[in-house]
């Protein structure tokens, strides 16, 4: 899974998640393991729901907005 996560760093969504984990202070290997875990969650959901991979699917979590 870690090799798959490393290969996925070329995908913008995966790179963004990896960079976020690095910004949180995680070292390269720890951030890569977080990404691998996230990818395994996606694979599990695909198997559970019997649906194909949809790379551009939006998540339900919305980013926090700054008060104006």
Please determine, for residue 5, whether its predicted confidence score (pLDDT) is greater than 90: no
**Residues 64/43, Cβ–Cβ less than 8 Å:** no
**Residues whose CB falls within 8 Å of the CB of residue 36, separated by 6 or more in sequence, listed in order:** 1, 2, 4, 5
Global pTM exceeds 0.75? no
The per-residue pLDDT for 21 is: 94
């Amino acid at each position: 899974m870690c090799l798959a996560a490393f290969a996925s760093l070329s995908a913008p969504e995966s790179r963004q998640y990896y960079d976020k984990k690095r910004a949180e202070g995680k070292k390269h290997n720890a951030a890569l393991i977080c990404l691998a875990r996230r990818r395994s969650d996606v694979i599990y959901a695909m198997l559970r729901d019997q649906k194909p991979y949809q790379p551009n699917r939006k998540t339900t979590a919305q980013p926090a907005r700054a008060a104006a």
